[in-house]
């Protein structure tokens, strides 16, 4: 069994939409980058939340959702990609406020992992088979694997 941690958001659903439809949903929040490598997924250990999670984060001013996912992937894991495929929108609810938000989810298959450098947010990266006991992982992130 996987040990999950809730960080204030509840998974509501996953919307299979085209990338051109992103702006039909409001509010659009930060993007996720899902990297698959030999039937395993790249996850990183977030030292601020003390848990494993997918690379993700908030968009910077005037940044597209895809550019956000590419940047966050690099900042958190050191992985450089030139493009990602849009898979859909994660729909979550803030448990405290009840507000809904939508996170774009992007995906790629990696042929070779690049070296990782520990940073202010991430202490380690790992390829995970979705079964191995790894400690705590974000409960919302676990749901994303069902859709990519």
Count of structural domains, the chain: 1
Residues contacting residue 58 through CB under 8 Å, at least 6 positions apart: 29, 30, 68
Q: Residue 41 belongs to what domain range?
A: 3-144
Average pLDDT over every residue of 19-33: 96
Residues contacting residue 4 through CB under 8 Å, at least 6 positions apart: 136, 137, 138, 139, 142
82 or 123, which is more confident: 123
Confidence label for 93 from pLDDT (cuts 50, 70 and 90): very high
Whether the predicted pLDDT of 1 surpasses 70: no
pLDDT for position 21: 96
What is the domain-level CATH number for residue 115?
3.90.79.10
Mean pLDDT of the chain, nearest integer = 94
Structural contact between residues 32 and 104, judged by C-beta atoms closer than 8 angstroms: yes
Average pLDDT over every residue of 15-27: 96
Q: How far apart are CA 131 and CA 41, in angstroms?
A: 11
pLDDT for position 2: 81
Whether the predicted pLDDT of 106 surpasses 80: yes
Confidence label for 36 from pLDDT (cuts 50, 70 and 90): very high
The residue among 72, 80, 68, 41 whose CA lies nearest residue 55 is 72
Confidence label for 140 from pLDDT (cuts 50, 70 and 90): very high
Confidence label for 7 from pLDDT (cuts 50, 70 and 90): confident
Q: How far apart are CA 142 and CA 132, in angstroms?
A: 13
Question: What is the pTM (predicted TM-score) of this model?
Answer: 0.95
Whether the predicted pLDDT of 130 surpasses 80: yes
Q: What percent of the chain has pLDDT over 70?
A: 99
């Amino acid at each position: 069994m996987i040990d999950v941690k809730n960080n204030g958001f509840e998974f509501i659903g996953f919307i299979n939409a085209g990338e051109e439809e992103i702006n039909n949903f409001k509010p659009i929040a930060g993007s996720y980058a899902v990297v698959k490598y030999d039937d395993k997924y790249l996850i990183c250990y977030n030292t601020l939340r003390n848990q494993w999670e997918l690379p993700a984060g908030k968009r910077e001013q005037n940044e597209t959702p895809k550019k956000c996912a590419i940047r966050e992937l690099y900042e958190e894991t050191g992985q450089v990609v030139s493009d990602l495929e849009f898979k859909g929108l994660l729909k979550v609810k803030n448990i405290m406020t009840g507000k809904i938000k939508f996170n774009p989810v992007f995906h790629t298959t990696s042929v070779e992992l690049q070296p990782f450098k520990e940073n202010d947010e991430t202490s380690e990266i790992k390829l995970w088979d979705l079964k191995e006991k790894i400690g705590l992982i974000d409960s919302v992130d676990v749901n994303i694997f069902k859709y990519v």
